[in-house]
């Protein structure tokens, strides 16, 4: 606190003090608001005090007060162009994955920009996600990965994760199936069930994706591990390494739930789309030992809150 010295005789008797008054040892003598009386003056003079220190209270003008403007609420339209930009980047990723080349840095820049947009207004981002899903009936590589990225970013935000980890999870979610670019479309798009040999080939895609992405120097070890382990399950029945519980990082746990929800709500060659409500129930049931219950719970609550009352009632609480 700044102070200035003034003569005691310059103070007006009867006037309320505008500032605290101190002696030369910085001891408080009279508080601001005190009405200065003759007795106070006499008492101070009796102590040999001829000058006092007065607290300086800076004056604030209207120009100094900058009114904080509320941030403009995002609309569904605000997400359309950056979403389309990411679809384009995903197409480039798909080609680079097939040719086992490093992922371009522009992808990371676009990914972070989109994550920032989502975090600016999560409610508008969720509304955009649900609307875009209504218009996408069949599974598509680019759309699936960008959509999974949106949902994973929202889940991470709902869980209260820090922004740096959210950026990483966004990348994992948008790159998690890059290994599939090296697997024959005849297997990936086969109607009906896969035989044992075909299933074993599909189970190699996390490892293939890991090897592809190791060529990209801007990806962190956590992001690489997230791609490698996004099919691991808490009960040890996942692949490729049958990891258990705490061995599976949050990047993989969030990506797994986001990917399952997004893929299952579209038509795939081997399965018809399911309703969001049905998938939420399945995720809830699978969270007891297989999927992370915190991740599935927050998704369940946020998505089900958007359903009409009869559907919410039918779903019931998470448990």
pLDDT tens over the chain, length 319 residues: 454 556 766 666 665 566 666 666 767 777 776 766 777 777 777 777 776 655 544 544 555 444 545 557 888 789 999 999 999 999 999 999 999 999 999 999 999 999 999 999 999 999 999 999 998 989 999 999 999 999 999 999 999 999 999 999 999 999 999 999 999 999 999 998 999 999 999 999 999 999 999 999 999 999 999 999 999 999 999 999 999 999 999 999 999 999 999 999 999 998 999 999 999 999 999 998 899 999 999 999 999 999 888 888 888 888 7
* Residues 173 and 256 grouped into a single domain: yes
Residue 295 maps to a domain: yes
Identify whether residues 26 and 118 lie together within a single domain.
Answer: no
Residue 70 maps to a domain: no
Residue 247 domain-assigned?
yes
Evaluate whether residue 65 is within a structural domain: no
40 and 84 both lie in a single domain: no
User: Do 46 and 101 sit in the same domain of this protein?
Assistant: no
Same domain, 307 and 266: yes
Q: Please tell me whether residue 29 adopts helix, strand or coil conformation.
A: strand
* Alpha-carbon gap, residue 191 to 124, rounded angstroms: 36
111 & 35 share domain: no
Both 31 and 86 in one domain: the answer is no
The answer on 189 and 80 residing in a single domain is yes
Helix 205-213 × helix 221-228 angle, to 10°: 160
Q: Tell me, yes or no, whether 63 lies in a domain.
A: no
Token pair 């920032």 is found at: 116
- Pair (217, 288) in one structural domain: yes
CB 129 within 8 A of CB 146: no
Residues 81 and 124 in one domain: yes
CATH number at residue 33: 3.90.105.10
Q: What pLDDT sits at residue 274?
A: 93
Question: In this predicted structure, what is the pLDDT of residue 14?
Answer: 62
Q: Cβ(257)–Cβ(292) under 8 Å?
A: yes
* CATH number for 209: 1.10.3210.10
**Pick from 275, 287, 274, 291: which is nearest to 318 by CA?**
287
Q: Do residues 225 and 292 share a domain?
A: yes
Instruction: State the sign of the Cα–Cα–Cα–Cα dihedral 163, 167, 173, 174.
Output: positive
- State the pairing for strand pair 3-7/28-30: unpaired
Domain count, the chain: 2
Query: Which tokens go with 75?
Result: 């609309």
Q: Could you tell me if residue 204 is inside a domain?
A: yes
pTM of the entire predicted model: 0.77
292 within 8 A of 283, measured Cβ to Cβ:
no
Q: Are 31 and 62 in contact (CB under 8 A)?
A: no
Residue at 287 is within a domain: yes
**Full domain range(s) for residue 11:** 3-55
In-domain check, residue 236: yes
The pLDDT value given to residue 23: 67
Name every residue whose Cβ is closer than 8 Å to that of residue 190 and which is 6 or more positions away in sequence: 198, 269, 270
Q: Is residue 191 domain-shared with residue 107, that is, in the same domain?
A: yes
Q: Is 13:57 a contact under the CB 8 Å cutoff?
A: no
Q: Give ∠ CA 191-90-202 in degrees, rounded to 5.
A: 35
Among candidates 72, 173, 42, which has minimal Cα distance to 114?
173
């Amino acid at each position: 606190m700044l102070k200035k010295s003034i003569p005691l005789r310059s103070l007006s008797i009867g006037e309320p003090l505008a500032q605290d008054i101190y002696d030369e040892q910085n001891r408080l003598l009279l508080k601001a608001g005190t009405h200065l009386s003759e007795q106070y003056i006499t008492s101070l003079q009796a102590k040999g005090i001829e000058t006092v220190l007065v607290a300086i209270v800076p004056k604030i003008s209207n120009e100094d007060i900058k009114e904080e403007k509320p941030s403009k609420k995002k609309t569904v339209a605000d997400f359309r162009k950056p979403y389309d930009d990411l679809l384009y980047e995903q197409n480039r990723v798909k080609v680079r994955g097939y040719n086992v080349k490093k992922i371009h840095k522009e992808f990371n820049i676009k990914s972070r920009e989109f994550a920032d947009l989502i975090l600016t207004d999560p409610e508008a981002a969720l509304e955009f996600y649900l609307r875009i899903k209504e218009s996408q009936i069949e599974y598509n590589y680019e759309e699936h990965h960008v959509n999974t990225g949106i949902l994973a970013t929202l889940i991470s935000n709902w869980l209260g994760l820090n922004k740096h980890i959210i950026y990483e999870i966004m990348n994992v979610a948008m790159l998690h199936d890059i290994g599939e670019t090296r697997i024959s479309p005849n297997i990936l798009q086969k109607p009906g069930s896969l035989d044992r040999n075909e299933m074993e080939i599909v189970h190699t895609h996390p490892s293939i994706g890991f090897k592809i992405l190791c060529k990209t120097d801007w990806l962190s070890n956590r992001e690489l591990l997230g791609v490698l382990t996004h099919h691991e399950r808490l009960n040890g029945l996942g692949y490729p390494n049958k990891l258990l519980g705490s061995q599976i990082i949050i990047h993989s746990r969030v990506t797994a739930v986001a990917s399952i929800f997004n893929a299952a709500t579209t038509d795939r060659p081997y399965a018809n789309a399911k309703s969001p409500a049905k998938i939420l129930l399945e995720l809830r049931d699978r969270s007891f030992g297989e999927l992370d219950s915190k991740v599935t719970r927050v998704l369940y609550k946020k998505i089900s809150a958007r359903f009409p009352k009869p559907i919410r009632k039918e779903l019931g609480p998470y448990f």
